[in-house]
């Protein structure tokens, strides 16, 4: 929530009330070990056995939640709750140490008590690592238990089970499955490794190197000593193969190694994922291309067929039927009652973009959604907005690469032009999103947005031409209330940083036009909806790389740019924070002294020019509505149904069940 102009985090105890759709499964409980040491013994057959002698651990208790599917099908999502191995320490109690008596229980159950702990501290990092392993180990033990319980042999695992590693957070599964197969089920290394690689596939979701998880080897060894041994062995065998195929290329070995050697040794989870999976996919064509060229270039040359592109998708059931029932109903009046179950039929809506009566009805749905959002903002936030203005939505996680900063700087420039007497298209600029708890700069950007809103919204010189709103506590429910009301969708990340994005798809499906960079899935949306029905701006990835190579100096832009200089002077000089004039100095410093890492200043002019074109286009309301209808009609390729089918055919080697369609 927002308190005194800042984001603050509050616990949301969503488990305090009984969830009628969540069923405890006490018959499914697994021990998850931590710490200790590893010993090797020779058994009576003369075989070497490895024993992990853990000195800590928790029990994972299963809970099931049904997830309804198509027609009469339902899936079951299995959740895990951590329980202490010992609830009460009588020895500590008898010594009078009452806190220690229950300390183990409290500490153990913290694993599943707090989602996404702040990992800016060592304790937070340890908790995050233990949390990730807890979920991985419980799930894998359960998968193997069910596999064997259905009468199948362990050697059939990769023929019967497909596991998708979604980003680097669950990649400990590679080492844990090897531990279970080798140490518990007594398979030989080669057979276990073949099953592991055949079972796992990995989806990469980021091009930012700092977002790819790494773990310090000393911490890893203390918490998961057996897994570090396994990772060392995986790495040694992998590097031997690389050396055999590329003799003499020592630098290649350093680049692809699962163990990072720079400074404190680290375990590179993304490298472990690529080595331990039979397929690796990006989530848009642009993302996959850049991933092949940069992040995983060496791996792509080692395994040219391993990396593929599967563009993200969204659920039309959530983001159209639930979020915008009025639009769903309107489409049904033209396409009939059953079109929704064959979502590719949405393309049949396209001819109605040329029908004046349909455009009028479509505009009526949009207006009603904007009026509903206006009432919500008035009732819940006390902010009055005019539904007749252009609703400009920038709703996503707050991060420097997503460039909410570029947007709010442009808003300040627009504010200055309005104060100077310019007549511009009236806008309501709506921001929504959360910053990670330990991300100071993202939180500072939220403060700037709120401070600008406070000044702009109370300045009579604005004449109703500009309103700035920040919606707190952004979540799926809030998104459903916002998306159907959007006229303009802001997708302005620095080219080469956004893997795909799905907000761009959700907003376009609901009739918002897009302004965006050539990043993520924006280019595929442009190709689908047509170049005339979207605004693309800014530097391309190749241009950014060239600027970096040449030596980008953002201050050269400022020297010849009076408007941008004035905007930064206002931010720097305390215009928006008179009570603390240095509050936003770190933001300006990141642009002028920190190298403008995300090319905010470099893209400012192109962004402002694009916004001016949008002002003109919005004034021609009927043509704007025609463009919006075309956007909606051409969005069926971005359905989750298409994506799941592609995963099934190209990654999991399975056939989708048509009954669940």
Query: Vertex 74, ends 23 and 654: CA angle to 5°?
Result: 120
Report residue 161: phi and psi, to 5°: -125, 135
Catalytic hit among 288, 494, 502, 517? 502
Beta bridge partners of 60: 30, 82
Catalytic hit among 179, 205, 444, 627? 205
Please give the helix or strand (H or E) that residue 53 lies within, else none. Answer: strand 48-53
Residue found under tokens 């195929």: 245
329 annotated active-site = no
397 annotated active-site = yes
**Burial of residue 611, with CB atoms counted within 10 A of its CB: 0-12 exposed, 13-18 middle, 19 or more buried:** buried
CA dist., res. 570 & res. 23, Å (int)? 56
366 annotated active-site = no
Q: Which residues contact 465 (CB under 8 A, 6 or more apart)?
A: 418, 423, 424, 425, 426, 427
494 annotated active-site = no
Residue found under tokens 């707050």: 398
* Torsion angle of the four alpha carbons 168, 174, 180, 183, in this order, in degrees rounded to the nearest 10: -120
Could you tell me which of 149, 651, 112, 605 has the C-alpha nearest to residue 406?
605
Q: Which residues contact 14 (CB under 8 A, 6 or more apart)?
A: none
Is residue 507 within 8 Å of 576, Cβ to Cβ? no
Catalytic hit among 83, 185, 285, 397? 397
Catalytic hit among 396, 399, 403, 634? 396
Please give the helix or strand (H or E) that residue 202 lies within, else none. Answer: strand 200-203
Both tokens assigned to 650: 């190209």
Catalytic hit among 278, 292, 506, 634? 506
Could you tell me which of 509, 491, 475, 510 has the C-alpha nearest to residue 284?
491
Catalytic hit among 402, 467, 626, 627? 402
506 annotated active-site = yes
Collapse the DSSP code of 78 into the 3-class scheme (helix H, G, I; strand E, B; otherwise coil) and give the result.
Answer: strand
CA dist., res. 384 & res. 367, Å (int)? 16
205 annotated active-site = yes
Q: Tell how many helices (H) and how many strands (E) occur in the chain.
A: 27, 20
Output the CA–CA distances (angstroms, integers) from residue 387 to 274, 368, 641, 643, in the order listed.
Answer: 49, 9, 34, 35
Output the CA–CA distances (angstroms, integers) from residue 386 to 83, 370, 372, 427, in the order listed.
Answer: 52, 9, 11, 9
Query: What residues are labeled active site?
Result: 205, 396-397, 402, 502, 506
């Amino acid at each position: 929530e927002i308190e005194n102009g800042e984001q603050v985090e509050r616990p949301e105890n969503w488990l305090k009330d009984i969830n009628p759709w969540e069923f405890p499964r006490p018959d499914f409980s697994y021990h998850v070990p931590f710490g200790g040491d590893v010993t090797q013994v020779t058994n009576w057959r003369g075989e070497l056995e490895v024993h992990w002698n853990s000195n800590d651990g928790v029990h994972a208790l299963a809970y099931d939640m049904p997830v309804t599917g198509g027609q009469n099908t339902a899936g079951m999502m299995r959740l895990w709750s951590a329980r202490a191995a010992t609830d009460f320490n009588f020895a500590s109690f008898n010594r009078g140490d009452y806190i220690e008596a229950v300390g183990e229980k409290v500490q153990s159950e913290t694993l599943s008590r707090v989602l996404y702990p702040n990992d800016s501290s060592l304790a937070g990092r340890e908790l995050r690592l233990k949390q990730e392993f807890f979920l991985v180990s419980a799930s894998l033990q359960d998968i193997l238990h069910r596999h064997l319980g259905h009468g199948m042999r362990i050697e059939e695992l990769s023929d019967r089970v497909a596991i998708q590693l979604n980003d680097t957070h669950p990649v400990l599964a590679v080492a844990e499955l090897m531990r279970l197969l080798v140490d518990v089920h007594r398979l030989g290394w080669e057979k276990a490794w073949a099953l592991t690689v055949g079972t796992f596939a990995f989806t990469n979701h980021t091009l930012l190197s700092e977002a790819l998880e790494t773990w310090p080897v000393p911490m890893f060894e203390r918490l998961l000593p057996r897994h570090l041994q396994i990772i060392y062995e995986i790495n040694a065998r992998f590097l031997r193969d690389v050396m055999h195929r590329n003799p003499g290329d020592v630098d290649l070995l350093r680049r692809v190694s699962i163990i990072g050697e720079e400074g404190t040794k680290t375990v590179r989870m993304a490298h472990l994922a690529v080595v331990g999976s039979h397929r690796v996919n990006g989530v848009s064509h642009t993302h996959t291309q850049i991933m092949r060229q940069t992040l995983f270039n060496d791996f792509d040359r080692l395994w040219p067929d391993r990396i593929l592109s599967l563009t993200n998708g969204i659920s039309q059931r959530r983001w159209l039927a639930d979020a915008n029932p009025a639009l769903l109903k309107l489409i049904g009046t033209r396409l009939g009652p059953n079109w929704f179950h064959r979502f590719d039929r949405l393309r049949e809506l396209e001819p109605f973009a040329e029908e004046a009566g349909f455009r009028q009805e479509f505009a009526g749905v949009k207006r009603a959604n904007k009026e509903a959002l206006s009432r919500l903002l008035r009732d819940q936030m006390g902010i009055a907005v005019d539904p007749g203005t252009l609703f400009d939505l920038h709703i996503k996680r707050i991060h420097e690469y997503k460039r909410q900063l570029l947007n709010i700087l442009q808003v300040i420039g627009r504010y200055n032009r309005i104060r100077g007497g310019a007549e511009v298209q009236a806008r309501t600029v709506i921001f929504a999103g959360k910053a990670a708890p330990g991300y100071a700069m993202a939180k500072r950007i939220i403060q700037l947005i709120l401070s600008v809103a406070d000044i702009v919204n109370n300045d009579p010189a604005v004449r109703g031409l500009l309103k700035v709103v920040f919606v707190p506590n952004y979540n799926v429910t809030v998104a459903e209330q916002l998306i159907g009301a959007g006229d303009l969708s802001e997708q302005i990340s620095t080219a080469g940083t956004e893997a795909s994005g799905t907000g761009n798809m959700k907003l376009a499906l609901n009739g918002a036009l897009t302004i965006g960079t050539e990043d993520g899935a924006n280019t595929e949306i442009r190709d689908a909806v047509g170049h005339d029905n979207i605004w693309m701006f800014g530097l391309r990835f190749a241009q950014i790389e060239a600027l970096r190579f040449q030596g980008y100096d953002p201050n050269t832009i400022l020297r010849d740019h009076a408007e941008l200089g004035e905007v930064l002077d206002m931010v720097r000089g305390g215009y928006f924070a008179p009570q603390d004039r240095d509050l936003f100095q770190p933001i300006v410093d990141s642009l002028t002294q920190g190298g403008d890492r995300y090319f905010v200043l470099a893209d400012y002019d192109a962004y402002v020019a694009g916004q001016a074109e949008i002002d003109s286009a919005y004034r021609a309301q009927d043509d704007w509505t025609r463009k919006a209808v075309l956007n909606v009609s051409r969005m069926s390729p971005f359905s989750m149904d298409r994506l799941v089918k592609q995963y099934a055919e190209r990654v999991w080697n399975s056939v989708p069940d048509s009954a669940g369609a």
